[in-house]
A and B are shown apart, each in its own frame.
Chain A
Amino acid sequence: MHSLTFDIAHMLAGSLVLVSFMLLYQDRLYALLNVYALHAFILALSVAWQAYAQDAPHLYITAAIALVFKAIMIPVVLHRMIVRLGIHREVETVVGIGPTMLLGMGLVALSMVVMLRVTAEADPLAREDLAFALSVVLLGLLMMVTRRNAVSQVVGFMSLENGLVLAATGAKGMPLVVEISVAFSILIAFIVIGIFLFRIRERFDTVDVQAFDSVRGERS
């Protein structure tokens, strides 16, 4: 029974890494949002499974929040925002898709090497989870730095946040942080959507962060 528990947790966390890779090669914003919804959905499954495996009912709340807010509400809201603001539908990348994928693989290998080595003593369930979580975090970061649109950077950040939730739920009996970090990820998403995109739209005709570059650095 234990091995089945472990295998399912392993599979779900692994899928999350896989979906993080899928986020990397999307070139349409709508598709990106759909994949992000899938990402959040798998996170919800994974957290729910951890709740079951660790017999920690409060984690079901985290799973529900991930499902309702991250997998459904935020993609829908962002979708509407893209329509209403008439944002470019293409994802503009700084680095090509190919090199990005290669970099992503390197990052996953790196996080496996680092985390599996230092957690040799820890419980295997937490250990694998943590290695996958770090991969998701690093892939989210990679996505943020290789994208130009504000929306896709935000999606990158939210996938990074998902990795953190995975790590926090993988740590057995960790108090407080799960609930609070989820609340914060939602807060962040709302702030981003409500304030930044709206204001950026108010002032400029694009949500492409490159438009900012005209004023980068020193103005003399």
Chain B
Amino acid sequence: MTFDAVTAVLVIPAVAAMVLAVLPGYRLSASINVAAALLTFLAALSLFFFGRPQPGPYLLVDDLNNVFIVLTTFVGFTTSVFSANYIGHELETGRLTPAVLRFYHAMYQVLMFAMNLALVTNNIGVMWVAIELSTLTTVMMVGVYRTHEALEAAWKYFILGSVGVAFALFGTILVYLAAEPVVGQGLNSMVWTELVVHAAAFEPELLNVAFVFLLLGYGTKVGLVPLHAWLPDAHAEGPTPISAVLSGLLLNVALYALLRFKMLLAANPHALAPGPLMISMGLVSIIFAAFMLYRRRDIKRLFAYSSIEHMGIIVFAFGMGGPLANFAGLLHMTMHSLTKSAIFFAVGDIAQVKGTQKIDDMGGLTETNPVLGWGLVAGVAAIAGLPPLGIFMSEFLVVSSTFARQPLLALPLVLGLLIAVGALFLRLNSIAFGEPHGATAKGKGSYLPMFAHLGLVLTAGVYLPGPLVAWFQNVAKLLG
């Protein structure tokens, strides 16, 4: 038997989770966490170069999810590096205890396992289970500080997330019911590659209802307005590495599930077009989040709302469809994951330096902590979509493809983007510049993950390698 990278992507985190659950001593656990995440990333990367296994009833690797897997494992790895520094400080201040940390590391790997499983599975039932598992693990991690606010956030996330996954399961059952008369009873009716081949013969009305449930269900996890209520709280009250993983990865995983079902609907000529539904939810998310950005007083909440805005842009782009908009959506998703996690790395260090998350208690960061301050400035410039950074390019593509096809839709889109940019710079101004106030301790974090991400975003904005472009174009065609 040859080296099977897909199995490795699943087995490494699973084994690491078990090892970390029994190992005492947080230093060793943190290193093992980093090592496991690195190995997983390498295994995922090898999928690019050494070919991929044939799709079976349970596992599938194609051009679409290969991008997601590599991105997920990469950010998973850099976040584990950041986390190793972050938790040391949390231990010193007594917010976390060694026993809790053991739990935290084990949960981190379980989360990686769940996300990878959701991405590589070919079975819509297993996909649902994996997303449910990722919800449960993140609920527990959000509540890990056990403060009043953290418990409230975890409870809210748990209730909304569970209702979301319950709807998604109902949608999955309906898809099975639609498939059963055509594909036949049993396992094959839940295998995505089988479904998509036969989708044209499915009962269209049943598929429509199924998609509405799936959109509501997985849309809750994507954080689309009006199903977003859990997202800012969960981001603000959990440990910052988890905020980075939530924003950068978990939202993508739910989006990926949605995309799979969108492709299923697109394959049936009589089913409703999923595009308009996704476009309207995307637009509402962009505009709502853009206005909400203005009143934020908590730095992590600020960037949580920014995540809602960007998920809105991505869902909007995929809703528009077509090669160019899909390409832009994919690129934007990649850039957003990298940038947002970089920002959360910076925010985590800032919150530790200042001892608070309140924006009012921070100021003049570029003077007191130049590296951190300018890192944050670069990150916000990237997320706001300034050239020459990567998000500028992807947003430009989204906007221009919309102008070319639906000029009226482009107006609210551009309006939302501009409003958000204004809010972000308003807040950035008071955090990074001006009279320094608040605590001025030196940051002890590692800036490597943050600058690695920002470097990638800058490179992508200046020059996208040819093979990558070809790959994304290919995926964009696949998405229809």
A, B bound: yes
Interface residues of A (CB under 8 A from B): 114-115, 117-119, 121-122, 126, 130, 133-134, 137, 141, 144, 150, 153, 157, 160-161, 164, 167-168, 171-177, 180-181, 184, 187-188, 191-192, 195-196, 199-200, 202-204, 209, 212, 215-216, 218-220
Q: A119-B177, A164-B169 are in contact. Are A184 and B132 (CB under 8 A)?
A: yes
- Bound-state Cα–Cα, A122 to B206, Å: 10
Q: Would you list the 6 A-B pairs with minimal beta carbon distance, nearest first? A: A173-B185, A118-B205, A212-B152, A220-B297, A177-B125, A175-B187
Q: Chain A binding site: helix, strand, loop or mixed by DSSP?
A: helix
B261 at the interface (CB under 8 A from A): no
B163 at the interface (CB under 8 A from A): yes
B172-211 CB mask vs A (1 if < 8 Å, else 0) is 1110110011000111011000000000000101101100
Of the A-B pairs whose beta carbons lie under 8 Å apart in the complex, a sample of 15, sorted by A's number, is A119-B203, A130-B173, A134-B170, A171-B177, A171-B180, A174-B173, A174-B180, A181-B169, A184-B129, A196-B155, A203-B147, A216-B152, A218-B296, A218-B301, A219-B149
- Bound-state Cα–Cα, A83 to B69, Å: 47
Partner of B181, one of A121, A161, A188: A121
- Bound-state Cα–Cα, A160 to B177, Å: 20
B158 at the interface (CB under 8 A from A): yes
B128 at the interface (CB under 8 A from A): yes
Q: A173-B186, A220-B297, A220-B360 are in contact. Are A203 and B159 (CB under 8 A)?
A: no
Q: What A residues does B129 contact at CB under 8 A? A: 180-181, 184
B270-285 CB mask vs A (1 if < 8 Å, else 0) is 0000000000000000
Q: A176-B123, A220-B358 are in contact. Are A157 and B140 (CB under 8 A)?
A: no
Cβ of A151 to closest chain B Cβ, rounded Å:
12
Q: What B residues does A168 contact at CB under 8 A? A: 169, 173
B206 touches A119 (CB 8 A): yes
B146 at the interface (CB under 8 A from A): yes
Q: What B residues does A216 contact at CB under 8 A? A: 152
20 A-B pairs besides A177-B190, A199-B151 with CB distance below 8 A are: A118-B203, A118-B205, A118-B208, A119-B177, A130-B173, A157-B166, A164-B169, A164-B170, A168-B173, A173-B180, A173-B186, A177-B176, A191-B136, A195-B140, A196-B158, A199-B146, A203-B151, A215-B149, A216-B152, A220-B360
B203-229 CB mask vs A (1 if < 8 Å, else 0) is 101101100000000000000000000
- Bound-state Cα–Cα, A122 to B143, Å: 44
B163 touches A144 (CB 8 A): yes
B152 touches A164 (CB 8 A): no
Q: What A residues does B147 contact at CB under 8 A? A: 203
Q: What A residues does B149 contact at CB under 8 A? A: 215, 219
Q: A130-B177, A167-B173 are in contact. Are A188 and B162 (CB under 8 A)?
A: yes
B434-445 CB mask vs A (1 if < 8 Å, else 0) is 000000000000
Q: What B residues does A161 contact at CB under 8 A? A: 166
- Bound-state Cα–Cα, A167 to B174, Å: 9
A209 touches B173 (CB 8 A): no
B123 touches A118 (CB 8 A): no
Interface residues of B (CB under 8 A from A): 123, 125-126, 128-129, 132, 136, 139-140, 143, 146-149, 151-152, 154-155, 158-159, 162-163, 166, 169-170, 172-174, 176-177, 180-181, 185-187, 189-190, 203, 205-206, 208-209, 295-298, 301, 358, 360
Q: What A residues does B136 contact at CB under 8 A? A: 187-188, 191
Q: What B residues does A172 contact at CB under 8 A? A: 180, 185
Q: What B residues does A191 contact at CB under 8 A? A: 136, 139-140
Q: What B residues does A122 contact at CB under 8 A? A: 177, 181, 203, 206
Residue of A nearest to B147 (CB): A203
- Bound-state Cα–Cα, A172 to B179, Å: 11
- Bound-state Cα–Cα, A220 to B140, Å: 26
- Bound-state Cα–Cα, A199 to B162, Å: 19
Q: A160-B166, A174-B173 are in contact. Are A212 and B125 (CB under 8 A)?
A: no
B180 touches A150 (CB 8 A): no
Q: What A residues does B209 contact at CB under 8 A? A: 114-115, 118
Residue of B nearest to A161 (CB): B166
B125 touches A164 (CB 8 A): no
- Bound-state Cα–Cα, A208 to B173, Å: 34
Choose among B136, B154, B170 the residue with the greatest number of A CB atoms under 10 Å from its CB: B170
- Bound-state Cα–Cα, A161 to B162, Å: 10
Q: What A residues does B190 contact at CB under 8 A? A: 174-177
Q: What B residues does A184 contact at CB under 8 A? A: 129, 132
Partner of B125, one of A118, A130, A175, A219: A175
- Bound-state Cα–Cα, A181 to B38, Å: 32
- Bound-state Cα–Cα, A102 to B163, Å: 22
Residue of A nearest to B357 (CB): A219
- Bound-state Cα–Cα, A199 to B172, Å: 33
B151 touches A157 (CB 8 A): no
B170 touches A137 (CB 8 A): yes
A174 touches B123 (CB 8 A): no
Q: What A residues does B298 contact at CB under 8 A? A: 218-219
Cβ of B350 to closest chain A Cβ, rounded Å:
18
Partner of A160, one of B158, B163, B176: B163
Residue of A nearest to B207 (CB): A118
Residue of B nearest to A115 (CB): B209
Q: What A residues does B170 contact at CB under 8 A? A: 133-134, 137, 164, 167
